[in-house]
Amino acid sequence: METNITNKYLEIHANKVIKKYGNNLEENVEIKSHNLQMENNHMKRLLSTKNRISHLRKFCQSKMSVERTSRDKSFFDSAKQRIISENFFYSDSQRTIYCAVPKVACTSWKRMFLYFNGNMKNPLNSTDKEDAHQRYIPRLSKIQTFVDYNRRLTTYYSFLFVRNPFDRLLSAYRNKFLQPDNDSFRRAYGEGIYKIARPSNSSWTINDTFDITFDEFVTYVINIYDRNFYMNEHWQGMSLLCQPCSIKYDFIGKMDTLIEDSNIVLDDLDVNKAIRFKTDNEYKVSIKDIAKEFYSTVSNEKIAKIYEVYRDDFEAFDYDVPSYINDIKLERKKKSVHMVVNKW
């Protein structure tokens, strides 16, 4: 089955390289060595993303997921509610579908879809983040007829971007509860967090929510997961948001290689070459530099529970526990041993 995995992005770029340099890629290497090296690096990146698709397919096989190729109407009626959330955007002009995962550059990609649809001139230069979230972009969930829905879902180029769940969870906390301009989130979730993390404190005000700690936020997320309550999209699992075993994605990008992966998507879609993600823009994320400080306030038991909450994301998208988590556990173990030795 792996040999039949969607390879259109590999084929597109392989054909471009052959057309540019000829069937013998070693010809003219002295003249075009720099460009050829760039193409080779690009092909390595494409092969890496192909492996992501292959890994995902193995995960889905193990889950015995429902295939989207079913043409049964009753399947569509039930599956639409299961797999199509408000996070799926599409562009008819580019014939593409994108599942937006909050805290994984979704603002930038929403701007890009506004550009695709002729509603934004400079998608990578806009400074108004809210503009991208508030302006209209067509969603799959709004399509009324099975024919129109199925045509797009089965023929359009589809992609998503993912991120290590530990990094993404911390990013959600910092953005929604530490930034002073997010009162709407504190009003919506502050009381729920207080009732779970500080049950002895029966009264609270909006000003109190500025003091919500990361450990309290983690406690809240774990609690609502255990109770199967609604989870906001900013910390809901990526597998739940984008249903990768029900939709056969053509491309999976990752936050760690956001710029390179984003430009591969734009190449696949034959977007104007002037529109490309650049290294000097805002996309380099340094959350790993501060993650250890935040997760050091969370117990080993809660850290293990976080992995359980997002297990499908770790397995589907081939993520490991970050090194800073392992460092925290190792330091705690050494400290515990040191305390025991000193005691004796």
What per-residue confidence (pLDDT) applies to 223?
96
β-strands 157-162, 96-99 pairing: parallel
Residues 33 and 87 placed together within one structural domain of the fold: no
What per-residue confidence (pLDDT) applies to 278?
78
- Closest by alpha carbon to 153, among 110, 97, 100? 97
User: Which of 45 and 178 is assigned the larger pLDDT?
Assistant: 178
Q: How many CA atoms, within 13 angstroms, populate the side-chain half-sphere of residue 337? A: 6
- DSSP label at residue 65: P
> What does the pLDDT look like over 195-247, one tens digit per residue?
888 887 667 777 777 788 999 999 999 999 999 998 999 999 999 999 998 88
Residues 32 and 113 placed together within one structural domain of the fold: no
Residues 210 and 328 placed together within one structural domain of the fold: yes
Residue type, 74: S
- Closest by alpha carbon to 274, among 130, 115, 167? 115
Can you tell me the distance from the alpha carbon of 241 to that of 82, in angstroms, rounded to the nearest whole number?
A: 10
Residues 156 and 257 placed together within one structural domain of the fold: yes
Is 324 within a domain? yes
Residues 181 and 46 placed together within one structural domain of the fold: no
Can you tell me the distance from the alpha carbon of 126 to that of 108, in angstroms, rounded to the nearest whole number?
A: 9
What per-residue confidence (pLDDT) applies to 191?
83
Residue type, 98: Y
Is 126 within a domain? yes
Residues 113 and 226 placed together within one structural domain of the fold: no
Mean pLDDT over all residues of the chain?
Answer: 80
How many other CB atoms are there within 10 angstroms of residue 184's CB atom?
9
Is 217 within a domain? yes
Residues 115 and 217 placed together within one structural domain of the fold: no
Residue 180's pLDDT band (boundaries 50, 70, 90)?
Answer: confident
Q: What angle do CA 129, 159, 65 make, to 5 degrees?
A: 125
Residues 300 and 205 placed together within one structural domain of the fold: yes
Cα torsion for 191, 196, 198, 201, to the nearest 10°? 50
SS3 232: coil
What per-residue confidence (pLDDT) applies to 253?
96
Can you tell me the distance from the alpha carbon of 341 to that of 344, in angstroms, rounded to the nearest whole number?
A: 5
pTM for this predicted structure: 0.80
| pLDDT at residue 105 tops 50 | yes
Instruction: Record the tokens describing residue 251, joined without a space.
Output: 């491309």
Can you tell me the distance from the alpha carbon of 172 to that of 169, in angstroms, rounded to the nearest whole number?
A: 5
The number of angstroms, rounded, from the C-alpha of 93 to the middle of its chain's C-alpha atoms is: 24
Residues 149 and 81 placed together within one structural domain of the fold: yes
What per-residue confidence (pLDDT) applies to 70?
43
Longest alpha-carbon distance in the chain: 75
pLDDT-above-90 percentage for the chain: 48
Is 325 within a domain? yes
Residue type, 126: S
Angle between helices 29-63 and 258-268 in degrees, nearest 10: 90
Is 296 within a domain? yes
The residue segments making up the domain with residue 337 are 166-235+288-343
Give the chain's domain count: 3
Can you tell me the distance from the alpha carbon of 60 to that of 246, in angstroms, rounded to the nearest whole number?
A: 9
Is 274 within a domain? no
Is 91 within a domain? yes
10, 47 contact by CB (below 8 A): yes
Is 280 within a domain? no
Residues 219 and 263 placed together within one structural domain of the fold: no
Residue 297's pLDDT band (boundaries 50, 70, 90)?
Answer: very high
Instruction: Record the tokens describing residue 194, joined without a space.
Output: 């207080």
Residues 88 and 229 placed together within one structural domain of the fold: no
Task: Annotate 13-34 with DSSP letters as a single string.
Answer: HHHHHHHHH-S-TTTTHHHHHH
What per-residue confidence (pLDDT) applies to 21?
43
Can you tell me the distance from the alpha carbon of 268 to that of 151, in angstroms, rounded to the nearest whole number?
A: 20
Residues 45 and 82 placed together within one structural domain of the fold: no
What per-residue confidence (pLDDT) applies to 335?
83
What per-residue confidence (pLDDT) applies to 4?
42
